[in-house]
Structure 1
Amino acid sequence: MTEANLQYIGSVTIDTALMEAADILPNEKVQIVNNNNGARFETYVIPGEKNSGTICLNGSAARQVQVGDQVIIISYAVLTDEAAHQYNPKVVFVDAKNQQTKILAEEVHGQKS
């Protein structure tokens, strides 16, 4: 988490490069999981400056995080049964500066970044 801006209407600002890597669209609903305090909440995405590493919670959600917290951002899809059987989630890993380090086309349970 690079920023928390309480004086904004709402949302999470995400580096556009990370949005593209994860196939997250502007205004898409996401769930945020804070690994530091266990908080889970939903908001929507607004694009941030490309390659900036920005992950900024805005509005009331900013009270759920501290700068430096490690978060997981989850997006969901509604799929037909057929599409769901063929779908592989993307897991985007980042370094300490929120720069992409790798992308997995599937989630391997128990694997750490």
Structure 2
Amino acid sequence: MQIEMLRTKLHRVTTTRADLNYEGSISIDRDFMDAAGLFANEKVDVLDINNGARFTTYVIEAERGSKTIGVNGAAARLVQTDDKLIVISYCSIDINDAPTHKPKVVLFDDDNVIKEII
């Protein structure tokens, strides 16, 4: 049997852009993607800490070192620049592996600098 588990999390990352006129997705700095192990086009859930909005989208790569977290397209109506977000990806694993599964969690400060990777 398979079970869905947290795979990666960007915790308290700050929105740098909300662009209604851009192709829908979330733009994430390539450094942040690498730190979390996220892939371009990977499905993610986005949770807005400021207003409680939750939505599903996919990742597109933003310029490495830019500190960009850009919410694009229709989802841009759900966030504001400077909102704190949690970006989550999941994986399916064998239920027998669940007790030892360790997700990768990347913690951010208020300036989108990585504080810690757990």
TM-score range, shorter chain: 0.7 to 0.9
Match 1:77 to one of 66, 91, 94 = 91
The total of aligned residue pairs comes to 104
Normalising by structure 1, what TM-score? 0.87
Residue ranges of structure 2 left out of the alignment (5+ in a row): 1-14
Higher relative contact order (CA 8 A, sep 6+): 2
Question: Is 2:61 the counterpart of 1:47?
Answer: yes
Q: Deviations over 1:69-93 (max 9, x none)?
A: 0010011111122333332011101
Residue 22 (structure 1) aligns with: 36
Residue 37 (structure 1) aligns with: 51
Which amino acid is the alignment partner of residue 94 of structure 1?
A: F
Q: Deviations over 1:3-60 (max 9, x none)?
A: 0111012000001111111111100000000000000000000011112110000000
Higher strand fraction: Structure 1 or Structure 2? 2
Residue ranges of structure 1 left out of the alignment (5+ in a row): 105-113
Q: Over the residues paired in the alignment, what is the CA RMSD in angstroms? A: 1.0
For the 8 Å contact 1:13–1:47, the answer to whether it is kept is yes
Distance 1:58 1:74 in 2: 17
Normalising by structure 2, what TM-score? 0.84
Residue 65 (structure 1) aligns with: 79
Shift of 1:63: 0.4
Residue 116 (structure 2) aligns with: 102
